[in-house]
Structure 1
Amino acid sequence: MKRRTLLRATGGAVLGGSVGLAGCLDQFSDSESDNTDSHDFPPEYETETFNGQTVPFAPLEDVAEWWEDDEAYFVDTRTQPQYDEAHIEGAVFSPAPDGLESSDPVSDWGTDTRIVTYCVCPIAQAGQRAAVLLDNGYTDVYGLADGFNPWRENGHPVESNDGQASLSTYEIEGETDPADAGEYALAVHPDTGQREASRIDANGGYELSLHFVDVPDSSLLELRTPSYELEGTIEEFSSATVRA
């Protein structure tokens, strides 16, 4: 890599300026408590815990059937540029974790509405938004297990608010302290707020698949794990394994 700035490393010196990510990664952290009193769902559905709330993830085939039969409302939990580029037909924009500060479309829905949240990662942001909805009293909430990309790639209905947008995909592999296992690595494009997250594995490794709109690989990216914060270009981060 030609340049990479270490913004913060746990137990180390600060070598760069403030990244402006305070609290951003925290939205992906699991609580120690596990609320298993979620709604009924098929036992074969996989679940993940977000902030103490158990979230079921419905497989693509079930969610596609719900869409066809008009049996669910859909929530895109990503960022505005990503939503505008393409989203599930009929889905509303209500970003993770808490939705819009005012006039969030979900607030008009009854608490017994079947809701499917989705992102690309494929579960981090969808799970966070679903967990908040369950905490807020909604009783029939699911994440889309496979994420938005398989929906799109399999020809299920999508629509766009920006026909000129250009979508780019970048892959980043990194390593952090194995003690961070189960937490999340987070990549943020600060100029647009676009972000992607990935859970850290038992060995401290993570893989981030970035699906950013109108963001070239020369753009600065902020990368954070519980153990470090880095700033560099997408090209730099995607050219070699990222380590603090």
Structure 2
Amino acid sequence: MRRRWILLCCLLVVAGCKKHREEASAVPEQALIPTTAPEEFGPRSADVQYISVDFAKAFSERGGALFIDVRGDHVFDMEHIRGAVSMPLQDILNGRLPDVPKDTLIIAYCGCPHSMSSAAAEYLQKRGFTNVYVLDEGFYEWKERGYPVEGRADADQQLQRMSIVGQAPGLAPGTPVYASEPRTGQLEASEIRDDGTYEMHLPFYGLAAGVTIEVSAGDRSAVVPFAPGVTVQVTLGPPAVPTAKSGKSR
């Protein structure tokens, strides 16, 4: 009889813990950003769900969610959402997965504000994770609102911004556009709009003016010097086709 009582108590505790975890990871409908909402923070993918920074902060405070920062280790070390873990987008696309149950509430974020985190969320969903969301406004809006971050004390002094706008004639809408600094691995992303244009904002840390920034989309690429506080135009045209040299036969 005593054994049955102990077993019953154990089952009740397990059931209670499971219910608490499910409640802690339940995202209310009002927390979600409709895909059709005004694109104040850039285009959204129809394949993932977006959550506002205000509701995400509530999960950060009470626990029950895993925040993953997909921007890259260098940027993560500078500053990140308190309690987040670094999982660079390229690592995820190469098969690195969170070591948590597949139904864990995961909130992915980047700084662009959600191009890279959307790609990460789509990949995680394809690998069986069932409770993945994207921070709609991105890391820097989280920080602007005074929500908790951690990292280096001099992060604000190290942070500099540059914008890139341009066209990519002939590339399909939705094609990812990347801007990277190879030495530190800092990376930001955007995508081609329906009219063939794109726009990127690069919040990079610790770069001197003139450092090479690589811009790429599909099989196209260009390089520009880093110019803090400046907006530059970069057209990603088709790759040059080598011409055959004619020579006289002997």
| TM class, shorter-length | 0.7 to 0.9
From 23, 34, 39, the counterpart of 1:46: 34
Please give the alpha-carbon distance, in whole angstroms, between the structure 2 residues aligned to 1:125 and 1:241.
22
Q: Residues 97 and 191 from structure 1, CA distance in 2 versus in 1: closer, same or farther, beyond 3 angstroms?
A: closer
Q: 1:196 is matched by which residue type in structure 2?
A: E
Please, which of 136, 145, 160 is the counterpart of residue 145 of structure 1?
136
Distance 1:45 1:210 in 2: 24
Structure 1: unaligned runs, 5 residues or longer: 1-38
What amino acid sits opposite 2:81 in the alignment? I
1:146-177 superposed Cα distances (whole Å, 9 cap, x missing partner): 100110000110000x3345111111111111
- The structure carrying a bigger helix percent of its residues is 2
Letter in 2 for 1:46: P
Q: Cα distance 1:170–1:138, how it changes in 2: closer, same or farther (>3 A)?
A: same
CA contact (8 A) 1:176 1:227 kept: no
* Structure 2 residue matching 1:215: 3-state secondary structure: coil
Q: 1:163 & 1:61 partners in 2: Cα distance?
A: 24
Does residue 1:163 correspond to 2:156, yes or no? no
**Equivalent residues in 2 for 1:223-234, closer than 5 Å:** 223-226=215-218, 228-234=220-226
The question of 1:67 aligning with 2:60 is answered yes
Distance (Å, rounded) in 1 between the aligned partners of 2:34 and 2:74: 29
Establish whether residue 218 from structure 1 lines up as the match of residue 207 from structure 2: no
CA distance in 2, matches of 1:64, 1:168: 25
Alignment of 1:131 onto 2:122: yes
CA-atom RMSD in angstroms = 2.8
Report the CA distance between 1:87 and its aligned residue: 0.3
Gaps of 5+ in 2: 1-25, 36-43, 238-250
SS of structure 2 residue aligned to 1:99: helix
- Which of 51, 60, 79 matches 1:86? 79
- TM-score normalized with structure 2 length: 0.71
Q: Structure 1 CA distance, aligned partners of 2:219 and 2:97? A: 36
Secondary structure at the counterpart of residue 67 of structure 1: helix
* TM norm structure 1: 0.73
Whole-Å separation in 2 of the counterparts to 1:228 and 1:221? 14
Local SS of the residue matching 2:198: strand
Listed one character per residue, the Cα deviations across residues 74-122 of structure 1 (whole Å, up to 9, x for unaligned) are 00011111101110000000111443979x6821x11111110000111
Q: Deviations over 1:187-213 (max 9, x none)?
A: 111111111111221221111100111
- Whether 2:102 is the aligned partner of 1:111: answer yes
Q: Which amino acid aligns with 1:116?
A: I
- The count of corresponding residues between Structure 1 and Structure 2 is 200
Indicate yes or no: 2:195 matched with 1:203. yes
Considering only CA atoms, is the larger Rg found in Structure 1 or Structure 2?
Answer: 2
